[in-house]
């Protein structure tokens, strides 16, 4: 007998539009359920990717899995599987790596990174990648957290790696190429539990000391299964251009998502600008491109601060989706982008390292049309919007702290039980620290980091609101607003402004412009003109760096 009710959530207390349950105050995912393997089945994320490729995605063996946009080297899906297993055997037999070991990776993007990560994960070795621009003290802190027995680096980054038990393998060396292509001994299958730690990634460190985020194989499998559950049916394979770093949760998840669905993943190597991106889209007939906000802003404006109309003359007809994550895009940028590219999906998402990447996302053209929304909650996950003062769950359209529960929530912070307890409660809810609201259709809107709200005379001021206003000024190329300490009022809203070339806009003009459009407590009280806004690899403003800059320079006016 078949069930005539197609609704996966027939509970009448769950709103069919927003997913909000009026009894529990929980927002439920209305996406298709993503099947996950039984908890007790040994299954690494590498097992999941390649078994899904074999059974479901079924790309042609000769289809390119990975392409280097600079050298144009291609690795087919059949070669990818062979390289992963050959390298895994080499890591077992040459280096002696075993389940439970940890490997530190210090490298820019390359074709070798996905192969290395899949190989290590198949062995039950914990992968811990770091930004190659990290300083020696930052690397020392990260190595203290992940306790690696081996490192993988390049000839440019190897000097930063201390002595480890099995040394450091150079990814850009003939030795590594040999490990990947010439079998040494037999590959011995390893039984990896889904609860085993797969990766230790590093939180951005914008609020306190950098933390090691411990993610399990099941965390990653759940994220990939959620992507598969909402995948689009295509007549031809997608080609994804990844411009974001593989050491960040955004890039790490992106190459796995692309490959598990049989997409070709094109990797940019070296210094990135808009011209590099446009050339790659044209040459490789890219359908999907993943960007950090600075490149999305450059696309919307049509220049990269050095070249006007830099996109002119490129054939972008293959492009379907521009995905932007890592930090929120301002409304003015979204509107400019839509005006310039009316037929492209601008896909936004909300995620954190602590939830293995995206947990809200826009899927399809219709959802991407909602300006400012970062999507709906993904399969198998739940959300709450909680009043930060009372702890009470809030209904649609009410802003509060976003809480998330689901199979992608991290195991915890490595070696920091207190910080783990602070963010993860006993019921499995992860407190994001972000002020958000969910609308009546289930779309999430990010307002501000709660810790970054400026407290002026007891009032709360959202930097994003003031940044949005200032971005509308033609003289402003970039801007960030941060709290500046003040004994009398607590914190002052301070603007850090990058002028457009040739502009001579001054502090009084900046302050007057904002003062005419906001309540008195929201006014900009201090201004500093800077050459650039410090941001991390995914475009998040490093507000602590701005405050340090302001504190060391007292020339700005009140």
Q: Distance of alpha carbon 81 from its chain centroid, rounded?
A: 26
- CATH number, position 547: 3.30.300.30
Q: Alpha helix (H) ranges present in 391-542?
A: 417-423, 463-471, 507-515
CA atoms within 13 A on the CB side of 205: 17
| Residue 156 resides in a domain | no
- Spatial distance between the Cα atoms of 440 and 453, rounded to a whole number of angstroms: 25
Tens-digit pLDDT profile for residues 399-422: 999 999 999 999 999 999 999 999
Say how many domains are in the chain. Answer: 1
For residue 545, the model assigns a pLDDT of 86
Average pLDDT over residues 306-321: 79
Whether 386 contacts 432, CB under 8 Å = no
Q: d(Cα 535, Cα 274) in Å, to the nearest integer?
A: 17
Which whole number is the average pLDDT over 156-185? 95
Residues 362-403 pLDDT 10s = 999 999 999 889 999 999 999 999 998 899 999 999 999 999
- Record the tokens describing residue 343, joined without a space: 């037929």
Residue 541 lies inside a defined structural domain of this protein: yes
Q: Give the dihedral sign, CA 153/159/162/166.
A: positive
Query: Range with the lowest mean pLDDT among 11-20, 264-273, 313-322, 545-554?
Result: 545-554
Residue 333 has pLDDT above 90, yes or no: no
Within a domain: residue 525?
Answer: yes
The SS3 assignment for 400 reads: strand
How far apart are alpha carbons 393 and 102 in whole angstroms?
Answer: 40
Asked if 25 and 383 touch (Cβ cutoff 8 Å), the reply is no
Beta bridge partners of 498: 478
pLDDT the model gives residue 308: 52
Does a structural domain hold residue 508?
yes
Element (H, E) at 489: none
Q: Does the pLDDT at position 81 exceed 90?
A: yes
Which structural domain range is residue 461 located in? 453-551
On whether the CB atoms of residues 247 and 256 are closer than 8 A, the answer is no
The pLDDT value recorded for residue 3 is 41
Distance in angstroms (rounded) separating the CA atoms of residues 521 and 280: 47
Q: What is the pLDDT of residue 269?
A: 82
44 within a domain of the structure (yes/no): no
In a domain, 242, yes or no: no
- pLDDT at res. 5: 41
Spatial neighbors of 342 by CB under 8 A, at least 6 apart, are none
pLDDT recorded at residue 346: 93
Contact between 18 and 382 under an 8 Å Cβ cutoff? The reply is no
Instruction: Identify the DSSP state of 450.
Output: G
pLDDT tens string 178-203 = 999 998 888 999 999 999 999 999 98
CA-CA distances (angstroms) from residue 546 to 310, 494, 543? 30, 10, 5
- Look at residue 245 and tell me if it is in a domain: no
Residue 261, SS3 per DSSP: coil
Segment 78-96 shows an average pLDDT of 96
Of 165-179, 181-195, 213-227, 322-336, least confident by mean pLDDT is 322-336
pLDDT at 328 over 80: no
The reply to whether 490 falls in a domain is yes
pLDDT at residue 107 above 90?
yes
């Amino acid at each position: 007998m078949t069930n005539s009710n197609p609704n996966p959530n027939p509970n009448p207390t769950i709103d069919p539009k927003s997913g909000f349950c009026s009894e529990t105050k929980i927002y439920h995912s209305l996406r298709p359920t993503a099947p996950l393997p039984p908890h007790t089945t040994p299954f690494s994320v590498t097992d999941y990717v390649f078994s899904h490729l074999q059974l479901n995605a079924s790309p042609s063996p000769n289809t390119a899995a990975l392409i280097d946009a600079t050298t144009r080297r291609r690795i087919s899906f059949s070669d990818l599987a062979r390289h992963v297993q050959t390298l895994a055997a080499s890591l077992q037999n040459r280096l002696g790596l075993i389940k439970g070991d940890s490997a530190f990776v210090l490298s820019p993007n390359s074709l070798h990174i996905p192969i290395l990560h899949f190989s290590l994960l198949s062995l039950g070795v914990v992968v811990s990648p770091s930004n190659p621009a990290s300083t020696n003290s930052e690397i020392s802190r990260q190595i203290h957290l992940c306790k690696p027995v081996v490192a993988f680096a390049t000839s440019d980054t190897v000097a930063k790696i201390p002595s480890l038990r099995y040394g450091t393998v150079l990814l850009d060396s003939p030795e590594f190429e040999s490990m990947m292509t010439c079998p040494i001994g037999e590959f011995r299958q390893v039984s990896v539990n889904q609860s085993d730690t797969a990766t230790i990634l590093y939180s951005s460190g914008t609020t306190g000391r950098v933390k090691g985020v411990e993610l399990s194989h099941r965390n990653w499998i759940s994220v990939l299964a959620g992507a598969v559950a909402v995948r689009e049916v295509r007549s031809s394979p997608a080609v994804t251009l990844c411009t974001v770093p593989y050491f960040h949760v955004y890039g790490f998840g992106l190459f796995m998502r692309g490959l598990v669905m049989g997409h070709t993943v094109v990797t940019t190597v070296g210094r990135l600008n808009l011209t590099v991106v446009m050339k790659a889209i044209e040459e490789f007939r890219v359908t999907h491109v993943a960007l950090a906000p600075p490149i999305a802003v450059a696309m919307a404006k049509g220049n990269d601060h050095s070249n006007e109309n830099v996109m002119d003359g490129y054939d972008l007809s293959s492009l379907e989706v521009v995905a932007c994550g890592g930090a929120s895009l301002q409304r003015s940028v979204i509107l400019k982008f839509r005006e310039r590219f009316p037929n492209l999906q601008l896909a936004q998402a909300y995620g954190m390292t602590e939830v293995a990447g995206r947990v809200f996302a826009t899927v399809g053209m219709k959802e991407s049309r909602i300006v400012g929304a970062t999507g709906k909650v993904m399969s198998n996950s739940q959300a709450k919007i909680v009043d930060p003062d009372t702890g009470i769950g809030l209904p649609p359209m009410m802003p509060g702290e976003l809480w998330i529960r689901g199979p992608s929530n991290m195991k915890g912070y490595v070696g920091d039980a207190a910080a783990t307890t602070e963010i993860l409660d006993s019921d499995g809810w992860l407190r994001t620290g972000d002020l958000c609201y969910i609308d009546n259709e289930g779309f999430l809107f990010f307002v501000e980091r709660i810790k970054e709200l400026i407290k002026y005379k007891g009032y709360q001021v959202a930097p994003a609101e003031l940044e949005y206003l200032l971005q509308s000024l033609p003289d402003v190329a970039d801007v960030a607003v941060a709290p500046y300490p003040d004994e009398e009022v607590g914190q002052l809203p301070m603007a850090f402004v990058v002028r457009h070339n040739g502009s001579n806009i001054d502090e009084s003009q900046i302050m007057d412009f904002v003062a005419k459009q906001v309540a008195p407590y929201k006014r900009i009280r201090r201004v500093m003109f800077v050459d650039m806004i410090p941001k991390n690899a995914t475009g998040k403003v490093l507000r602590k760096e701005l405050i340090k800059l302001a504190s060391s320079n007292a020339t700005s006016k009140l």
